[in-house]
Amino acid sequence: MAVIRNFLTGIRVFFKSLGILEQAQIVASTAVVITMMTIITIRIVSGEPLSTIDFISVLTIGIFGYVSIFFALKYGRMLEAQRLELMELNTMAEAVNYSVDLNYVLQSALVRVMQLMQMEWGWIYLCENDILFLKYQYGTSVSILPENSNIYDNAFSWLRSTGLFLTEDEKIKNAFNPALDTQHIKVIVAIPLNRQGIFAGVIILGGRDPHISRSMKLAMLQAYGNQISMALNNAYLFDQVKKSEELYADLYENSPDMYHSVDQNGIIVNCNKTECQVLGMPREMIVGHPLTSIYPPEHHAKVLENLNKIFQREQDLKEYEEQIKKADGTLLDVSVNTSIVYDAKGNPSLVRMVLRDITEKKRMESKILQAQKIDSIGNLAGGIAHDFNNILTAILGSASIMRRRINNDARLI
């Protein structure tokens, strides 16, 4: 009974491991064979003679049915394995493409590939100037590679291609960090990462099971590496764009000139930090308010007239001098330059305005003008004095001659 019970249990487990189609094929083939055997048995019992064709039919149907089952099982398992591989790749893609943040991509890639490959330890190294530096590790706080490892040293050449290695392999044995205890690590997996076709880093995994190298396929590891490399490339590009945006935002906010944009309704829609500092106003008192709010009342009409010219006639202002008003009422002389921003339909939508504080320049010009006036007066006074001096010189000269003549002529005494 125990043997029969174990046999039936084995059949039950076997059937559960099959797909619905495979189970249906086995049941159908078995049913056909049983039906044919039943017909033959009835004919034997009823005394009807059996022909050779009856046995050939049963044999042919049985062989055909079970051969079809064999191939269905074989290719069904292959399709199932491919389905699982695709699911794993999809899982990896979801993990690394969820975000374009570089740190998130690297951490997610390391954790996910360790889970898929059932590894206990993991390290991610990035390459900079041919030197590998540790970015993240999992399962240990010790680096698996020595510091300042050069990827082009022969000891680390195995990291440039996808591979599975036993830690006893002489090819990789001398590459480990002496400070790392490798007695529990039996197998090493290397998954290189490329960015635009250039080696950018490597994921190194360590595991206890030395037989995993026989069960894992290099093609799957390469697929993992390709997925992570694509995500890494996107993350690098996003990081560069982000840094560029931060750079230009910093240039805009901290420019020595004041910047603001105005819509067609004459409302300021944004301004930079320099403008807030110069005017002594928080951004909330500038953005969302009319452009005329930063001008003295007597200039409002001219400001609106200029704004209308810009939008209606598309005429920009160049080095146009105006006066704006600070929070304390102080007036600043500014030089204004404008440029029009067009929408998708080619219509003017905003006006960018650059205001340069020329108050000190105007003050210096006033001082220079005053100095020039004083200089002109000095030159005039000098000229007049020179002319008087010439006249006096002639008079004194004549008087001196007359005096000598008087002294020499007694009749004139």
103 and 230 part of one domain: yes
- Note the pLDDT of residue 275: 94
Number of domains into which the chain is organized:
4
Instruction: Report yes or no on 6 lying in a domain.
Output: no
pLDDT of residue 91: 59
Check: pTM over 0.85? Answer yes or no. no
Given a cut of 70, is residue 40 above it in pLDDT?
A: no
Q: Are 124 and 228 within one domain?
A: yes
Q: Model confidence over 289-345: pLDDT tens digits?
A: 999 999 999 999 999 999 998 998 888 889 899 999 999 989 999 999 999 999 888
The per-residue pLDDT for range 340-359, each reduced to its tens digit, is 999 888 889 999 999 999 88
Sheet containing 163-166: give its strands across: 149-150, 131-138, 121-128, 198-207, 187-195, 163-166
Q: Is 1 part of any domain? A: no
Containing domain of residue 301, as a range?
258-357
For the chain, what is the mean pLDDT? 79
162 and 191 fall within a common domain: yes
With a cut of 80, say whether residue 29 has pLDDT above it.
no
Residues 57 and 146 in one domain: no
Q: How far apart are CA 142 and CA 181, in angstroms?
A: 9
Same domain, 129 and 104: yes
Cα three-residue angle 120-121-126, rounded to 5 degrees: 150
Let me know: does 83 contact 75? Beta carbons within 8 Å: no
186 in the same domain as 129: yes
pLDDT in tens, 135-194: 889 888 888 898 888 988 888 888 888 888 888 887 787 788 887 777 788 888 888 888
